[in-house]
Amino acid sequence: MSPVWKVVVFLAPLCPICQDYTYFLNALHNEWTATEAPVEMVGFFPEGSASQDDIEGFADTYGVTWPLELDQEGVAVGLDARWTPEVFVLDSLGKVYYRGRVNDLYVSLGKHRPKPKRHDLRDAVAALLAGQAPRDSVTQAIGCPIE
């Protein structure tokens, strides 16, 4: 069965917020894989932000086992992505059902909580898997700007 939902994550190898969020993204990927949820996650590095070696190094350093790619097709432009990390949940036709932050760990640039209070991406995907709309379809991503 092919995935019904696609989680697209925009990342930058030198963005410390992206580095911090790999823990949460890896946990979600592992959860969805273990439960055989119809969810696929892929990370894109905006063109000019990374080389293939940078991407491979990022995957090795942060234990990322889900696909990571250089965004050579303009996915970030097509989705109007503005930040790394910023996540989008799309259906098989490419309709966006959620966009924004992974969770609320970061309150602002350089300021974060000890642990997140809201798990926006997890909750959005759980709602969609249950046939419901996410409570919030848009949240504000905090991170490094995509240039």
Mean pLDDT by groups of 10 residues along the chain of 147 residues = 84 95 98 95 93 97 98 96 98 96 92 93 97 95 93
Compute the half-sphere exposure of residue 84: CA atoms within 13 Å on the CB side of its CA.
23
Closest CA to 71 of 35, 94, 99, 43: 43
In this prediction, residue 2 carries a pLDDT of 54
In this prediction, residue 3 carries a pLDDT of 61
- Can you give the CATH number for the domain in which 122 is found? 3.40.30.10
Report helix, strand or coil for 145. strand
- Looking at the structure of the chain, the number of domains it has is 1
Taking the C-alpha atoms of residue 89 and residue 100, their distance in angstroms, rounded to an integer, is 9
Domain interval for residue 93: 5-145
In this prediction, residue 47 carries a pLDDT of 87
In the chain the first and final C-alpha atoms are separated, in Å, by 36
Largest CA distance in the chain: 41
The strand order across the sheet containing 39-46 reads: 68-71, 39-46, 5-10, 86-90, 96-100
With beta carbons less than 8 A apart as the criterion, state whether 96 and 60 touch: no
